[in-house]
């Protein structure tokens, strides 16, 4: 790994090619596609998005991406509450959020964050979130996401950015932490 940080450009996803690169990176990091050792050491993502749903999400609130030499090397998905019924696995999260927060609080859900393995530990995780805050803080007062309690790496990284636990809930055999970053 280079000791010199990569030159990363943070932007909003605009093209179908960028969306397909997000899906490629997502597929490489799905829990079902990596070893238990890698899950423990590197973290993982749980939800697989179809191209159609990813594009629908992007049309409402574009996803934040990190690019190096024109290639997507990280992403933070934006999910508007308008789409809370689009992904079956996320319906329980939205139900819990809607019960926990006041109706006057506008929120955006960060639907998933992932960094290419070759680009980790370079500050890209924080860079994605700071770009998301820059783009959406005038419209939303809080950013919310859900993390499996088994994903310690992700939980720690989110707390380091400034997220705080809103609540925990259980679906099947998994405990989920719903965390929020107040802007």
Q: Is the pLDDT of residue 5 over 80?
A: no
Task: Give residue 3's pLDDT.
Answer: 47
pLDDT tens-digit profile of 48-74? Answer: 789 999 999 999 999 999 999 999 999
pLDDT tens-digit profile of 117-150? Answer: 999 999 999 999 999 999 999 999 999 999 988 8
Rounded CA separation 156/47 (Å): 20
Question: Which CATH class, in words, describes the domain spanning 9-182?
Answer: alpha beta
Q: Is the pLDDT of residue 4 over 80?
A: no
* Domain ranges, ordered by start, for the chain: 9-182
Report percent pLDDT > 90 for the chain.
62
Task: Report phi then psi at 15, rounded to 5.
Answer: -115, 160
pLDDT tens-digit profile of 36-49? Answer: 777 667 777 677 78
Neighbour tally for 65: CB within 10 Å: 26
């Amino acid at each position: 790994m280079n000791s010199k940080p990569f030159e990363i450009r943070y932007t909003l996803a605009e093209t179908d090619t960028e969306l397909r690169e997000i899906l490629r990176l997502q597929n490489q990091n799905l829990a079902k596609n990596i070893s238990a050792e890698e899950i423990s050491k590197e973290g993982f993502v749980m939800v697989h998005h179809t191209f159609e749903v990813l594009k629908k999400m992007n049309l409402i609130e574009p996803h934040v991406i990190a690019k190096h030499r024109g290639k997507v090397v990280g992403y933070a998905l934006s999910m508007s509450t308008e789409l809370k019924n689009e992904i079956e696995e996320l319906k329980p999260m939205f139900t819990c959020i809607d019960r926990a927060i006041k109706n006057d609080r506008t929120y955006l859900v960060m639907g998933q964050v992932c960094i290419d393995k070759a680009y980790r530990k370079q500050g890209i995780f924080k860079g994605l979130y700071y770009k998301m805050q820059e783009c959406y803080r005038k419209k939303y007062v809080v950013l919310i996401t859900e993390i499996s309690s088994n994903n310690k790496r992700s939980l720690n990284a989110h707390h380091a950015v400034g997220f705080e636990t809103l609540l925990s809930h259980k679906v099947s055999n998994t405990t989920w932490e719903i965390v929020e970053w107040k802007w």
